[in-house]
Structure 1
Amino acid sequence: MTANKEKHLLQKIRNGNTQAFSELVDAYKNLVYTLASRMLGNREEAEEVSQDTFIKIFKSLSHFKGDSKFSTWIYRITYNTCLDRIKQNKRQNTFVDIDHVKDVSFVTMNNALDKMILEERRELIKKSLNSLPAKDAGLLTLFYFEEQSLAEMEKTLNIPDRTIKVQLFRARKKLATVLEKNLEKEILQNYG
């Protein structure tokens, strides 16, 4: 969504237009759900947190000053709402039923074998990412899947970019370890 369209939409919402808020929800629902799903590891909870997030967005729309991108503000609310839910549930590790995670669209491939190999890799990465602690999965999701810059992440998470770099480094190391273990298991199962 363009910045001008966002400003126009936000003004309509502030003026009480509920249809405009529906447009805003439609524009950001997939991004909010994806982050919530990866952090919480549970489809139902991700849906609830997504709803809670949009309620919080609606109630605090007057506090959005435009200092950052609107999407960054939404990510921050989503991220904090997920952390609140995790604290509420007192969970250490999260897992996601991969069948319920929305598939990432890929360019259609001519070779069926290449497509199958790509799908297997994608499932392995999802499985590995979803077995990480929620904060690590959230950081990696924001950086790699949502393609936020360090500056955007700094605003979203309210953490200095140096700290984010260190946390991303550690999260990548954890992901690499999990990927390696999952790959070893898969090789042993398929070729052992």
Structure 2
Amino acid sequence: MDKFEKHITDLKSGKEIALAFFMDKYGDALNFFAYKIISDKQACAEIVSDAFVKLWQKRMDFTAIQPLQSFLYRVTQNACLDFLRTNKNKYKEDQSALLELEASDQDIMKKIIYNELVQLLVEEIKKLPKQQAAVIHLAIMEGKNTEEICQELNTSSSAVYFARSKAIATLRKIFEQKKLSLHLSLFLAMCTS
């Protein structure tokens, strides 16, 4: 029995430690996923918390990790769509953006794979020196530009450029060792451009 099967069994038997395991495993990735849709940190935190409450309520329905993972992403996506619909004046989302988000199961699997790559990235970002981690987190995870990062960290643009360059170089090296360099390079290029 692998660790996921054990945690699913524990979840089904009502052990809260199993729920904590899945929260640790998927919480950051789900927050990132939700933030990319609605760009509201507080709402994202509530949406992800609600997703885990729903997981707990439906815990008897899961026997494998894939359906559980898909469930979490689908619940999070649907809650984000509901949030955008109820706040459409505030966020001025057009109907085409909402329709694009109403994805098929195949599209949700692509998003899960993308977010698993993000999760790997988050784990490695946490290991970077403090300044590099802060800069790369703000740039990639929150989508902030250099000026916004300078203001938030109270630093110069040259310090931001240097920290970002060092962080990206370190991350590329780490992911080359993990044989993920092409995927990460594409991801980093997409996020930092």
Q: Which TM-score applies when normalising by structure 1?
A: 0.46
Asked which structure has the greater RCO (Cα within 8 Å, sep 6+), the reply is: 1
